[in-house]
Amino acid sequence: MTGTTQPQQTRPGPGTRERLRRAPVESGLGMVPDPSSTRERVVVRAPLHDGVRTADGRVLPVVPALLADAGLGYLVFSTARLVAGAPTVDLRLDLAGIPAADARWLRAELTLLHLDDAVGVGRAEMHDDTGVAVAHVVATFALTGVPAGPGGLATARAPGPTDPHPTDPGATAPGADVRAALPPFEAIRLRPENLERDADGDVVFTPGPSTTNLNGTAHGAVLSGLAAAAQSAHPGAGDARPLSTTVEFLRPVQVTDRLRARTVAIRDGRRFRTLSTELLLPDGRTAVRAVGTALRR
């Protein structure tokens, strides 16, 4: 690929559902291709149930973050014909309405806005299956940071030049997919009331093997959900309605890293509240930075 290309939507192939089933975060949250997908209109979905809803009926941010991060990442991966996942650079999540009480699915229509040799940019527009607008996400992925192979997870070895690409119909990855043996991720871990705190009052969180992504590090959707949950658990945040979260991914997080979420108020007005959260690695470096704005009720 040279220069800027005109992105072409890629319909999830017959092996996509099986690959999602082997991915612990995607399978744990029930992400699957939506039957309405076409080559021109790619749609993925995840089930809505009490386990992924907040007390007021909203959806936990990890769910729309997953549909966007994993879904758009798939579009970049398949369109650019990569051998491993493209690292997420940043993600902007805007929350809209509350899913209907009887809604069963959150559906994300995916659009690849731009793709060149360095970056891919995509948009995910999300509605529940009754038509309520729930969220909007724009995410950027770095093609220049793609590993030479999928971290020993998606395949036992990196694909060779004669191997079919994993997105080709009927293609099978060389070697076993060891992600199939990993436990599925549980969204309940990111409910604000379930977060663990250290002696200083900061949220602490070890991702664990169930958060493993294609490259063997912690899934960006989980890190986005953790930052949003830490902000919801911040003192005084319970009376506010989350509006938006902007997440920057600065460094990869190993699934064994014990993260510390440090949250401070940037603005604390009568109508709006803005919080900044840094997810800190054990050595003190910042891995993820998130800024969230909420409306006081």
Q: What CATH number corresponds to the domain at position 221?
A: 2.40.160.210
HSE at residue 32, side-chain half, CA atoms within 13 A, is 11
Residue 129 falls inside a structural domain: yes
Residue for token digits 């930052």?
Answer: 227
Q: Which domain holds residue 33?
A: 16-156+191-296
For 192, list phi and psi in degrees, rounded to 5. Answer: -55, -35
Name the pLDDT band for 175 (thresholds 50, 70, 90).
very low
**Domains: count for the chain:** 1
Residue 287 falls inside a structural domain: yes
Mean pLDDT over residues 212-241, rounded? Answer: 90
CB 190 within 8 A of CB 51: no
Residue 92 falls inside a structural domain: yes
Residue 55 falls inside a structural domain: yes
Residue for token digits 């590090």?
Answer: 217
| Residue-averaged pLDDT of the chain | 86
pLDDT at 12: 54
Mean pLDDT over residues 100-126, rounded? Answer: 96
Residue 211 falls inside a structural domain: yes
11-20, 108-117, 160-169, 200-209, range with the lowest pLDDT? 160-169
pTM for this entry: 0.86
Residue 116 falls inside a structural domain: yes
Residue 181 falls inside a structural domain: no
CB 127 within 8 A of CB 67: no
CB 206 within 8 A of CB 256: yes
Residue 198: CB atoms within 10 Å: 10
pLDDT at 46: 97
Residue 173 falls inside a structural domain: no
SS3 assignment, position 269: coil
Top pLDDT among 38 and 5 is at: 38
Helix extents (H) in the chain: 16-22, 24-28, 62-80, 220-232
